[in-house]
Amino acid sequence: MATTTIAKALNAGLRRAMEADAKVILCGEDIGKLGGVFRITEGLQKDFGEERVMDSPLAESGIVGTAIGMALRGYRPVVEIQFDGFVYPAFDHIVSQVAKMRSRALGHVQLPMVIRIPVGGGIGAVEHHSESNEAYFAHTAGLRVVAISNPADAYWLIQEAIAADDPVVFYEPKRRYWDKGELDETHRGVPPMSQASVVRTGSDVTVACYGPMVKTCLQAAQAAAEEGTSLEVIDLRSLSPLDLDTVAASVERTGRLVTVHEASGFLGIGAEVAAQVQQRCFYSLEAPVIRVTGYDVPYPPSRIEEDFLPDLDRVLDAVDRSLTY
């Protein structure tokens, strides 16, 4: 067991995946010598060579489009999208090709690729560098969508995503890259990628969140505990498919659910969780499901991003509202 950061754990996970399988190749903008703008691929080109760690031309459509071809040729491409807001040039390939190839070919071919996306705001960046676009991809059948929140998941899930035979959109919470946590590289102590995990047990209100919001919600739970309210915090981890069994089991005990994400609320992951939970847990619910989300506006300039982003207070406010029923 060692203390490490999400960034370092991802780097170590990528390294291990590359060591385990010579078909694993990395491609993206500035991922070579620079090690990526977030240094997630630091040192990998030096150790695995320019053929396995490719600095790509500046073209996201090209990055994902060629990854499709490489996957068809038997490789396992792991592509890096430099920032969330720059995945859109590749949107066509992801939605029309990556997601559908297996079903179009009736299972004769598969595209085992990972599309890594540093996601979310809170870093004081200029526009297009702080977006949360997971709902677009979760809405697209054929893609698996994963959002990590801690170093242990970073390390194990990146390897699991690479080994998976389905394409995975892999969200990394950029403002948490340098947050520390425990990681045991010798023993996989985390659940499978497709499962949610209860990261704090509690009895009064269930809080379902993912990615960068997990830390926020754990802090909220701590604050709530000091006021005598017990929150159960669930890290969804997999956004498509959703592990609703874990959420429903919790809600059946607490009777209340708050969902939290940075992305705008309208048609977001929280909306899907809410819809499914009210169907499954109708008789257990003591309050309507409450969503805490970014507002339904373009991501704002950084000087007011704190007003946009859900924070501890907004989570606690939602918890209070839930408890008034």
Partner 1 sequence: MTPTAPRPATEGGPDMIQLLTPEGQRMHRREDQQYADIAAELSDEDLRGMYRDLVLIRRIDAEANALQRQGELGIWVSLLGQEAAQVGCGRALRPQDYAFPTYREHGVAWCRGVDPLNLLGLFRGVNHGGWDPNEKNFHLYTIVIGAQALHATGYAMGVNLDGAVATGDPERDTAVIAFFGDGATSQGDVNESFVFAAVHNAPVVFFCQNNQWAISEPNDRQTRIPLYQRARGFGFPGLRVDGNDVLASYAVSKAMLDRARDGQGPSFIEAFTYRMAAHTTSDDPSKYRVSAEVETWKLRDPILRFKAYLAHEGKADAAYFATIDAEADEMATYVRSGCLSMPDPPGTLMFDHVYAEQHAQLAAQRAEFVAYQAGFEGAH
Ligand X SMILES: Cc1ncc(C[n+]2csc(CCOP(=O)(O)OP(=O)(O)O)c2C)c(N)n1
* Candidate residues 16, 317, 320, 323; the one interacting with partner 1 per rule CB under 8 A: 317
Given the residues 93, 128, 129, 139, select the one marked as catalytic.
Answer: 129
Which of 29, 172 has the CB closer to ligand X?
29
Total number of residues that touch partner 1 (CB under 8 A): 38
* Candidate residues 195, 276, 284, 302; the one interacting with partner 1 per rule CB under 8 A: 302
> Of 17-25, 49-57, 185-193, 268-276, which segment contacts partner 1 by CB under 8 A?
49-57
Which of 59, 275 has the CB closer to partner 1?
59
For 226, counting Cβ atoms within 10 Å of its Cβ (0-12 exposed, 13-18 middle, 19+ buried), the class is exposed
For 67, counting Cβ atoms within 10 Å of its Cβ (0-12 exposed, 13-18 middle, 19+ buried), the class is buried
Q: Should residue 2 be labelled a site residue for ligand X when binding is judged by CB under 6 A? A: no
Which of 262, 305 has the CB closer to partner 1?
305
Residue 4, strand partner residues: 181
As a whole number of angstroms, the distance between CA 55 and CA 49 comes to 11
Q: Should residue 89 be labelled a site residue for ligand X when binding is judged by CB under 6 A? A: yes
Smallest separation (angstroms) from partner 1 to the CB of 65: 9
Q: Which two tokens stand for residue 45?
A: 């080109």
Handedness of CA 177, 198, 254, 219 (dihedral sign): negative
* Rg of the chain on CA atoms, in Å: 19
Q: Which does 298 bind (CB under 5 to 8 A by kind): partner 1, ligand X, none?
A: partner 1
As a whole number of angstroms, the distance between CA 140 and CA 67 comes to 19
Q: Should residue 262 be labelled a site residue for ligand X when binding is judged by CB under 6 A? A: no
Going residue by residue from 74 to 113, which x/- string records binding to partner 1, judged by CB under 8 A? Answer: -----------xx-xx------------------------
Q: Should residue 86 be labelled a site residue for ligand X when binding is judged by CB under 6 A? A: yes
Q: Should residue 29 be labelled a site residue for ligand X when binding is judged by CB under 6 A? A: yes
* Candidate residues 5, 82, 206, 293; the one interacting with ligand X per rule CB under 6 A: 82
Q: Which two tokens stand for residue 271?
A: 């909306």
- Residue for token digits 């060591």? 19
Pick out residues in 181-240 that bind partner 1 (CB under 8 A): none
Q: Is residue 139 annotated as a catalytic residue, yes or no? A: no
**Residues identified as active-site:** 129
Which residues contact ligand X (rule: CB under 6 A)? 29, 58, 60, 82, 86, 89
